[in-house]
């Protein structure tokens, strides 16, 4: 906790004076982000840092392996779906980007099994990505390529699931919401963007 408090103090001394007026404006008018970013919880993959976004610019949802579950409104708990609903229907974001990344622990758990201590929730959560696992198995690739292939398949799967939300599909059809996929290299710092042809290319 001491490190966090030290970081907060640096924020108050350096960043806060520079951005005080911005925060006051955001507090007064509310948030109006144009982008919803769905990213992994991995501590190395911060979408606001990667896209150099400031306060109020992005509404960010992070979970294990940047997964969007299928549209399933019921009495269960749906944190990711609730965040998507708020961003799309209330904040009226103009674009959604699903960003996967290299060396994803969630994808490794999907392919190799959850690590010890992550059996209660991780295993069941990753069943969302079962179609991606099957595609990776069918591709018959070496282990390193298989992981990357599956990581990118999960981005595509999340976009398919996202398009299955009726109010997402409606806004896409109206032309006032766009969906995008991206993939970040942790070791390289390079971002790849999913094209219309289904391949990832350098941004």
Q: Mean of the per-residue pLDDT values for the chain?
A: 95
* Percentage of the chain lying above the pLDDT 90 cut: 94
pLDDT score of 170 = 98
**Cα 121 off chain centre by:** 18
Give the mean model confidence (pLDDT) for residues 43-69: 97
Quote the pLDDT of residue 64. Answer: 98
For 7-74, the three-class secondary structure string (H helix, E strand, C coil) is HHHHHHHHHHHHHHHHHHHHHHHCCCCCEEEEEECCCCCCHHHHCCCCCCCEEEEEEHHHCCCCCCCC
Residue 62 pLDDT grade (very low, low, confident, very high; cuts 50, 70, 90): very high
Instruction: Note the pLDDT of residue 140.
Output: 86
**pLDDT for 143:** 80
Topology adopted by domain 31-202: Beta-carbonic Anhydrase; Chain A (3.40.1050)
Q: Say what the pLDDT of residue 78 is.
A: 95
The 10s digit of each residue's pLDDT in 6-54 is: 999 999 999 999 999 999 999 999 999 999 999 999 999 999 999 999 9
Q: What is the mean pLDDT of residues 139-158?
A: 93
Q: Mean pLDDT across the stretch 96-122?
A: 95
> Can you give the pTM of this predicted structure?
0.94
Give the residue extent of every domain in the chain: 1-30, 31-202
pLDDT at 36: 98
If you average pLDDT over residues 145-172, what whole number do you get? 97
Q: What is the pLDDT of residue 144?
A: 77
167 pLDDT above the threshold of 80: yes
SS3 readout for 149-181: HHHHHHHHHHHHHHHCCHHHHHHHHHCCCEEEE
């Amino acid at each position: 906790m001491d490190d966090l408090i030290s970081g907060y103090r640096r924020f108050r001394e350096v960043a806060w004076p520079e951005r005080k007026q911005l925060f006051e404006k955001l507090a007064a008018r509310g948030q109006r982000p144009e982008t919803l970013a769905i990213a992994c919880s991995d501590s190395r993959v911060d979408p606001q840092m990667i896209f150099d976004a400031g306060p109020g610019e992005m509404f960010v949802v992070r979970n294990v392996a940047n997964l969007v579950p299928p549209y399933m409104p019921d009495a269960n708990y749906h944190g990711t779906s609730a965040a998507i609903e708020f961003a799309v229907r209330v904040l009226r974001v103009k674009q959604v980007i699903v960003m996967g990344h290299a060396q994803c622990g969630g994808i490794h758990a999907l392919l190799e099994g959850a690590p010890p201590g992550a059996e209660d929730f991780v295993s069941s959560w990753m069943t969302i990505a079962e179609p991606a696992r099957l595609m990776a198995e069918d591709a018959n690739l070496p282990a390193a390529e298989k992981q990357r292939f599956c990581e990118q398949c999960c981005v595509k799967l999340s976009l398919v699931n996202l398009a299955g939300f009726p109010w997402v599909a409606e806004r896409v059809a109206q032309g006032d919401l766009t969906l995008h996929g991206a993939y970040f290299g942790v070791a390289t710092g390079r971002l790849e963007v999913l094209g219309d042809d289904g391949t990832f290319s350098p941004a």
